Structure formats: C-alpha cells, structure tokens
Structure 1
Amino acid sequence: MESMLKKSLLAPVKTLKFCVSGEKTNHGARRGPKRQGSKGRSCKPDPRLLRSYQTELDRERKLREAMNAQKNAERAAMRAHFRRKYQLTKNAKDAEQLRAAGGKVCLPRDLAKMVRGEAPAKDDSFCLRSAFQSLSLSTGIFTGRPRQTPSSANQTQPCRVM
C-alpha cells in the first residue's frame, strides 16, 4: 500500500518541485537494477493468517448458501401451495429445494398473507341467537309504560360524586 502511495504521488510532487525551483530532474537515469520475478513482495504471508482468512471465507460462503437455500425453499413452498390451490401438476425441482432446506418450511408472515388471501366469509345462514341480539327488549313494552333510554335514566339519578 505504501509503495502504491509513493508511486502515485511521486510524479506530481516532482513536477511541482520542478515548476517552483526551475531545476531539471534526470528522468532517464536508473536508480538500480530491477530484479526479475519480483512483484513488490519480499516475504511470504503468514500461513496462520491465510488459514484463518480461508476459514472465515468458507464460513461466510456456507452462510450465504444456507440463506439462499432457505429463500429457494420458501419460494418452492409458495409455488407448491399455488399448485395445490389451482390443481396444477407437481414439480420435482420444488420438492428437491424443500428437501435441501430441511423439509418443512414456514413461510414468512407477509408471504403467508399473500398466499392465504382473503378468508372466506362465514355462512350467512339464519342464527336464532343473532336475531335476538339485535332486538332491544325492555319491560316497558309489556307494561305499557314508555321505554327509558340509558341517557334519560342517568339524568333522573343524582350524581353521587357531588
């Protein structure tokens, strides 16, 4: 990194120095013989560092593969659901993806909502209980007195707090 920095900044610094001072630099002269086969690295990297780096890369790769397998299995489960819903033929590729993810795959909530859609409405058949719930019966109907509303009942009773 340091050598790259020197190489990239050396030429602009030399031209700036030449513009300011007015002296010429010797561009044609060589500083020393270049070694054949040297790519700028003088020592080999530490094998322990290489092993730890490789294990970290392998761990990240396995994690990515597991996440991709899970996503593929979720998609396969959704496709399988739609195949059952619309009575389409089964696909072996979807079964393979489900097996690769460990068999039973639970869809995320947002996908499950999309797949499930609207729940069918309950049967609108006549229900005796619901018929009586809508009626408002009071004893005034049978005795002939006018029916009291809850607000008028509250007005006749004095306030206990005051």
Structure 2
Amino acid sequence: MADIELFAKLCRDETEQVSRLIAFLEQEQQALIAGEALRLEALADEKGRALEALALVSRERQLWLRAQGVTDRESVLTWLKDKPQACEAWFLLESSLGRAMALNEFNGKQINLGLHRTHEALGVLKSAAASMMSYGPDGAQAEVPIGGRHLGSA
C-alpha cells in the first residue's frame, strides 16, 4: 500500500472511531437534557471504551506522520497539498473531531449547569431547614442554645 493510501486509511479508521464517539456524545447529550442520570453511568462506560479505541488509532496515525517528518498541523497541510485523496480523508477527520469537541463542550456545559442548579437547590433547602429548626414539634418557637453557660452560673 502506498504511503498516501496508508495515510488516508489511517484517517478513515480514526474518523470511524470519532463517529462512534459522536454517537455516544449525542446519547449523553439527550440523557443530560432529559435528566436521566442513571443512563449516564452506562454511557460513561461505553464512551470510555470508545475513547480508548480512538486513542489507539489516533496514536497510530500520529506515529506514522512523525515517521514521515510531519509533526504539526502546518506541516500536514503542506504535505497534503498535492495529495487529494489523503487531503479529503484528513479534512473529514478534522471535521469529525470538531463535531465531537463541540458536543463534548456542550455536554460539559450541561453538566456544569446541572451542578449549579443542584447547589442552588441545596442552598435553598439548607436555609429552609435552618429556619424550621427554631420551631419545636408543637409549632412553638424552641429555645435555641446560644452559649455553653447560663447567666449567673459558675
């Protein structure tokens, strides 16, 4: 297999793994929006396996590029100038990675929003619990001990 064909295949393999990850990120997004916390646990395991598989193919492509003396995005673009088949595979990979990153960022924001709402709710509940503590079971205001000693005691 020619170098160009191998590079294109490596990009296509990686794009396939990114597409698999995108599917999990989309499911995660749906679960976050729907508030299905239990579904997130199962998705996290599957997403983790997808990330591991992606890391393997990504590393293979990166090692191959380094062996060709291509070490950064600029040198990749220069190297691809006269290789349309490889160029197409590369840009499809970049596009897929961009989609995955956008989904991951959105999901992160959803998680942070959920955490913020949870913290707000806890604050409200703690305040309500504290104000209720000053009343006894009979509804009368209970004595709240302020200090360790009563006035006049030794």
- Which category describes the TM-score, using the shorter chain as reference length? under 0.3
Structure showing greater radius of gyration is 1
TM-score by length of 1: 0.24
Q: Greater relative contact order (Cα 8 A, min sep 6): structure 1 or 2?
A: 2
TM-score by length of 2: 0.25
Larger helix proportion of the pair: 2
